[in-house]
C-alpha cells in the first residue's frame, strides 16, 4: 500500500536544466572522456558496467550522471555520498564538474572501490574518497546529500539510511518504479520525480527520471 503521508509530484526536467547539463558536459569534456577511457580499461579486468558497452553509451551515462548537478538540493550540499557507485557513476563525473564538493564513493564490493580510487587518482581528483562497505555503514557528514544511479529501491534504501543525517537523496531510476517503491517506507517523504525524457527528448532517456527525496518537515 502506498502511504498517503508521502507527497509525490511528477514534473518535467526543464529546458534550462538540459542546457545546464550539456554545458557542464562540454566545459569538462576532456576529463570526462579520460574517465570513460579509464572505465573501459578497468571494465576489461573487473565487471563495472555491462561487458560490451560502447564508449558512446558510456558518454551518455556520464551526461545522465551530470543531470544531478542541476538540482538545487545538490547545489546546497558541500558533501556528497554516491552509494552503489560501481565504476564511479554518478560520483566521478560529478566530482569532475564540482571540485568544490567532497565526493565519497561507496560500494559494497571492495574491488570496485579500488578501481574508483585508481581512476580518481589518475584524473588527479583531490575531492574524492572511497569506502568499501554497505550504505548503512557510511557515516555521512551532517547535511550530506546521498546520490545513486540504478542501485537501490527507495524502500530498501530508506530501511538502511532512514536514521542517518542526510539532507536528502537524489536517485537516477525508472520513472514508473517510484510509487511502488514507497511501500513500507517509514516517516513522511516529499518526492519530486523529474522526467528526463521530457527534457532531452532522446530515446536514451525514455522511462528515466531524476528523483529528489527529502523528509517532510
Ligand atoms: C546496478 S549497479 C549500478 C552501478 C552504478 N551506479 C552505475 O550506474 O553504473 C549497483 C551497485 O550497487 C552496489 N550495491 C549493492 N548493494 C549495496 C549496498 N548495500 N551498499 C553499497 N553498495 C551496494 C553493487 O555492488 C553495484 O556496484
CATH of the domain at 52: 3.40.50.150
Range of the domain at 112: 15-172
Q: How many domains does the chain have?
A: 1
Binding-site positions for S-adenosyl-L-methionine read 84, 89, 135-136, 149
Burial of 51 (0-12, 13-18, 19+ CB in 10 A): exposed
Is 121 a domain residue?
yes
pLDDT at residue number 217: 78
Is 206 a domain residue?
no
The mean per-residue pLDDT over the stretch 92-113 comes to 98
Model ipTM?
A: 0.99
Is 193 a domain residue?
no
Is 46 a domain residue?
yes
Residue-averaged pLDDT of the chain? 96
Q: Which residues contact 58 (CB under 8 A, 6 or more apart)?
A: 36, 39, 40, 49
Q: Which residues contact 143 (CB under 8 A, 6 or more apart)?
A: 77, 78, 79, 165, 166, 167
CA distances from 213 to 47, 56, 69, 125, 148 (A): 30, 30, 15, 28, 12
pLDDT at residue number 8: 96
| For ligand 1, mutation pick of 107, 109, 149 (most atoms within 8 Å of CB) | 107
**pLDDT of 42-68, one tens digit each?**
999 999 999 899 999 999 999 999 999
Is 98 a domain residue?
yes
State what percent of residues in the chain have pLDDT above 90: 94
pLDDT at residue number 1: 52
Q: What is the pTM of this model?
A: 0.97
Q: How many whole angstroms from 50 Cα to the centroid of ligand 1?
A: 13
Is 1 a domain residue?
no
Is 179 a domain residue?
no
Amino acid at each position: 500500500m502506498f502511504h498517503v503521508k508521502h507527497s509525490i509530484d511528477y514534473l518535467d526536467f526543464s529546458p534550462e536544466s538540459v542546457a545546464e547539463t550539456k554545458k557542464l558536459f562540454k566545459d569538462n569534456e576532456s576529463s570526462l572522456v579520460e574517465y570513460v577511457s579509464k572505465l573501459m580499461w578497468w571494465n576489461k579486468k573487473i565487471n563495472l558496467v555491462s561487458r560490451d558497452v560502447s564508449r558512446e553509451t558510456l558518454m551518455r551515462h556520464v551526461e545522465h550522471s551530470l543531470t544531478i548537478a542541476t538540482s538545487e538540493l545538490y547545489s546546497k550540499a558541500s558533501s556528497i555520498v554516491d552509494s552503489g557507485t560501481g565504476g564511479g557513476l554518478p560520483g566521478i563525473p560529478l566530482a569532475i564538474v564540482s571540485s568544490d564538493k567532497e565526493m565519497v564513493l561507496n560500494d559494497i564490493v571492495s574491488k570496485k572501490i579500488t578501481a574508483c580510487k585508481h581512476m580518481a587518482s589518475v584524473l588527479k581528483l583531490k575531492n574524492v574518497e572511497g569506502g568499501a562497505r554497505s550504505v548503512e555503514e557510511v557515516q555521512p557528514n551532517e547535511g550530506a546529500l546521498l546520490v545513486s544511479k540504478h542501485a537501490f529501491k527507495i524502500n530498501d534504501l530508506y530501511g538502511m539510511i532512514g536514521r542517518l543525517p542526510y539532507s536528502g537523496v537524489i536517485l537516477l531510476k525508472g520513472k514508473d518504479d517510484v510509487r511502488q517503491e514507497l511501500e513500507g517506507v517509514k516517516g513522511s517523504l516529499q518526492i519530486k520525480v523529474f522526467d528526463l525524457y521530457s527534457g532531452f527528448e532522446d530515446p536514451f532517456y525514455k522511462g528515466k527520471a531524476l528523483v529528489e527525496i527529502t523528509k517532510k518537515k
